[in-house]
Amino acid sequence: MAIFRSFINSRGKGAIVFRLLSFFVLVLFLALMSGCAAKKKEPGMAIEPEPVPKIEIDPGQQRIAAWHALMHEKRHVSDMEKLEAVNSFFNQLEFVDDRLLWGKNDYWATPQQMLIKNGGDCEDFATAKYFTLRQLKIPDNKMRLTYVKALRLKEPHMVLSYYIQPTTDPLILDSLITEILSASERKDLIPIYSFNGQGLWLAKKQDSVHLGKAERLSLWQDLQFRFIQDAIAAPPSQ
């Protein structure tokens, strides 16, 4: 009987020890398994970011933005600085005949159209400079769009004339050359007639004769209207 009791006691202690060991093993197993499942990172394996889509800006719109920036930047400089900046800006564009660019014998483009196309003919260069300088507060009576005969080209040509005073020798903004020279220095140009938003003049040897308003120039009237429409449609400048 004592031997049996001793056996029972030894078996009881063994069971308790076994249960304690089982408990510690379970706790250790649960501790190792805790946390969210995640992919093991391989040595040298990098997570690459998603490629950013490339946004392409239309070159024509870039040129128009640069034009607006020019007008904003040159608002408060001298007239001569305005003339030089505007003349240089548009003379970067290409000369392209109307028949190639527009499929017409004669078409006067707005500055916006010229910038989108990256070019134009002599009328487009001269009128674009005129409209831009008007936006820069150069008075209309100081400027005239002047048709001339270009002796070197042996054909009609248009330039923009700027008058410091109504009777002074005007400065010529021309798409053929980069430098702004006086009319008396441009021996290669013979003036024929000129106009602006106020009138029309016939050129004479020493002076010009006022012929009245420029309303008879239908292309000019149409261009002024389209320029206003483009300006209305344009977003407000900063």
CA distances (Å), origin 220, targets 79, 126, 127, 159, 166: 24, 12, 9, 14, 22
User: What pLDDT shows up at residue 126?
Assistant: 98
User: What pLDDT shows up at residue 53?
Assistant: 62
Encode pLDDT of 178-236 as tens digits. Answer: 999 999 999 999 999 999 999 999 998 667 888 888 887 899 999 999 999 887 766 54
User: What pLDDT shows up at residue 57?
Assistant: 74
Cα–Cα distance measured from residue 68 to residue 72, given in angstroms and rounded to the nearest whole number: 6
User: What pLDDT shows up at residue 225?
Assistant: 93
57 compared with 9, residue with greater pLDDT? 57
Strand 94-95 with 119-120, pairing:
parallel
Please state the φ and ψ torsions of residue 213, each to the nearest 5 degrees. -80, 160
Whether pLDDT at 153 is above 50: yes
Whether pLDDT at 176 is above 80: yes
Whether pLDDT at 25 is above 70: no
CATH code: domain 59-233 is 3.10.620.30
Encode pLDDT of 100-122 as tens digits. Answer: 999 999 999 999 999 999 999 99
Answer whether 147's CB lies under 8 Å from 157's CB: yes
Strand 155-162 with 119-120, pairing:
unpaired
What's the whole-model pTM score? 0.75
